[in-house]
Amino acid sequence: MTTQRLASAVSLLHGWLPVTVQAIAVAILVLAVGGRTPRWSLRWLPAALLFGVGAALLVHWYIGYQGWSGDPAPPWFWVWIAVAGFAGVVLPAGWRGTRRWQRAWSVVAIPLCLLCVALALNLWVGYLPTVASAWDRLTGAPLGGQIDAAAFRDMREKGAKPIHGTVLSVKIPDDASGFKHRAELVYLPPAWYATKPAPQLPVLMMIGGEFGNPTDWPSVGAQNILDDFAAGHGGNAPVVVWVDQSGAFGNDTECVNGTRGNAADHLTKDVIPYMVSHFGVSPDRAHWGIAGWSAGGTCALTLTVKYPQLFTAFVDMDGQMGPNAGTKEQTIFRLFGGNAAAWAAFDPQTVMARHGPYHGISAWFGVSEPTTSVYRAAAAAHPGDVHVPQADPSNSSGVAAAAQYMCALISGYGIECAVISLPGKHDFPSAVKMFESALPWLAGKLGTPGAPVLRLPGAPPS
């Protein structure tokens, strides 16, 4: 087995490696603490323990205050933050009057404990499933199937239809939005290369979670799913653009225009015209859709109801009911500078109430929590027909409750929808499974050549 294959086979989410690293960290910390004088132990061990627990409580409070996740972190995440804080006190407190080997173990213990924190955090979000994916992200290695501009031009000129789809890094101008963003990625299925000019294929905009990078989706397996789909449909699949909705790892825009940047304008006024002009994709909203996970799922919902003239379908995976940066008041302040009117312009419930019934839009709500899978037909034909559900889970953080409520709500505005439960975790591996489940329906809905038009799960036969 090659080194690359071995690294790809070693999981960072389960198995022997995370357990081994944690065991080593505990052993070294014990060596660093052991052999101290009774006086030192009575004085500093309780202080180190209190500091570690305090650090974990502070991080817990800060994550909740920022509204970064409604999904609870694994217990080991908090444990290792506390242990790392403990190790951080042991090092300076025990430096004087100790043996050199104890000092060395104290120094080594801190990065090992921090590594365990990182492993627990990764277990929470699932961004890096294997050692290979972590190494590729660290070194900036190209994605599988990624080609540069010169190779792209050469393939296009030769009209060579590849076996698998290709991924091209693009720098989309921000002339319309002024939104500073990182390089974005475009997936072109094999059929795109088959003709000149390129066929007007449908387009899927894919959006990741609150913290991340445009490379997240293809890195965790979405590209392989697209390649498999294309292989079963004569090389046809939607063209996909993995967008940068945040501009930086820690800048949560929730895909709105606000104090953190005009992300909505970038996605609608920069990305869409660029894709049409540079890749010859269909400009028709009937052939454009959005799929997103977590905050990206919320983006898919928000952008579709906000811009129904641009999109005809969306897949919302573990999203929430609207842009979220904490409580409603915190969201208005953090995303919109305290401007409630600006918030209302992107709040899906307010947007739909102002717009009235929609036509021709469909939605797939994928959730990683156990819930009843349901289908709801488009119910409204006139503004007076809109039915608003009585139950409002605004105080509930569960993605299943949010999906059930929003599906009931949007169906009253003329958007057919289904809630599909694939129990797992609120992480990227679960998101990939939800995307794989939704893709055949979504590809058919967007008019992908060779892909049959499928009803949403649970829909009665036409």
pLDDT at 425: 86
pLDDT at 201: 97
Q: What angle do CA 255, 256, 259 make, to 5 degrees?
A: 120
Q: Which helix (H) or strand (E) holds 427?
A: none
Question: Domain boundaries in the chain?
Answer: 3-134, 142-445
Lowest mean pLDDT among 22-36, 62-76, 90-104, 275-289: 62-76
pLDDT at 378 > cutoff 70: yes
Residue 460: other Cβ atoms inside 10 A: 7
SS3 content of the chain, % helix, strand, coil (to 5): 50, 10, 40
Name the residue among 190, 278, 197, 285 with its Cα closest to residue 229: 190
Reading the block at residue 351, the tokens are 């947007």
- The rounded distance, in Å, linking the Cα atoms of 125 and 74 is 10
Reading the block at residue 214, the tokens are 């445009």
Are residues 326 and 333 in contact, defined by beta-carbon separation less than 8 angstroms?
no
Are residues 289 and 422 in contact, defined by beta-carbon separation less than 8 angstroms?
no
Name the residue among 443, 404, 445 with its Cα closest to residue 421: 404
pLDDT at 200: 95
> For 60-81, what is each residue's pLDDT tens digit?
998 887 777 666 788 999 999 9
pLDDT at 12: 85
Higher pLDDT, 136 or 461: 461
- The rounded distance, in Å, linking the Cα atoms of 334 and 261 is 12
pLDDT at 57 > cutoff 90: yes
Q: Which helix (H) or strand (E) holds 444?
A: helix 428-445
pLDDT at 101: 85
pLDDT at 315: 98
Residue 33: other Cβ atoms inside 10 A: 21
Q: Any residues with CB less than 8 A from the CB of 237 and at least 6 apart, and which?
A: 165, 187, 189, 191, 201, 226, 227, 229, 230, 443, 448
Counting every residue written for the chain, the total comes to 462
Lowest mean pLDDT among 94-108, 171-185, 378-392, 427-441: 378-392
Are residues 239 and 186 in contact, defined by beta-carbon separation less than 8 angstroms?
yes
Are residues 165 and 189 in contact, defined by beta-carbon separation less than 8 angstroms?
yes
pLDDT at 5 > cutoff 60: no
- The rounded distance, in Å, linking the Cα atoms of 12 and 382 is 52
Say if residue 348 is preceded by a cis peptide, omega within 30 of 0: no
- The rounded distance, in Å, linking the Cα atoms of 298 and 296 is 5
pLDDT at 7: 57
- The rounded distance, in Å, linking the Cα atoms of 299 and 445 is 19
CA dihedral of 382, 384, 390, 396, whole degrees rounded to 10: 60
Q: Any residues with CB less than 8 A from the CB of 208 and at least 6 apart, and which?
A: 214, 216, 217, 242, 245, 292, 293, 294, 296
pLDDT at 395: 39
Q: Provide the H-helix boundaries in 143-286.
A: 149-158, 216-220, 222-231, 263-265, 272-279
Give the architecture-level CATH label for domain 142-445. 3-Layer(aba) Sandwich (3.40)
Higher pLDDT, 167 or 10: 167
pLDDT at 240: 98
pLDDT at 394: 45
> For 291-307, what is each residue's pLDDT tens digit?
999 999 999 999 999 99
Mean pLDDT of 119-137: 82
- The rounded distance, in Å, linking the Cα atoms of 366 and 457 is 11
Quote the pTM value: 0.86
pLDDT at 390: 54
Reading the block at residue 359, the tokens are 């036509």
When computed from its CA atoms, the radius of gyration of the chain, rounded to whole angstroms, is 24
Straight-line distance from the first to the last Cα atom of the chain, in angstroms, rounded to the nearest whole number: 51
pLDDT at 206: 98
Phi/psi-derived region of residue 212, left when phi > 0, alpha when psi is between -120 and 50, beta in every other case: left
pLDDT at 382: 55
Mean pLDDT of 241-262: 94
Most confident of 4-8, 46-50, 102-106: 46-50
> For 381-430, what is each residue's pLDDT tens digit?
555 556 666 555 443 458 999 999 999 999 999 999 999 999 998 888 89
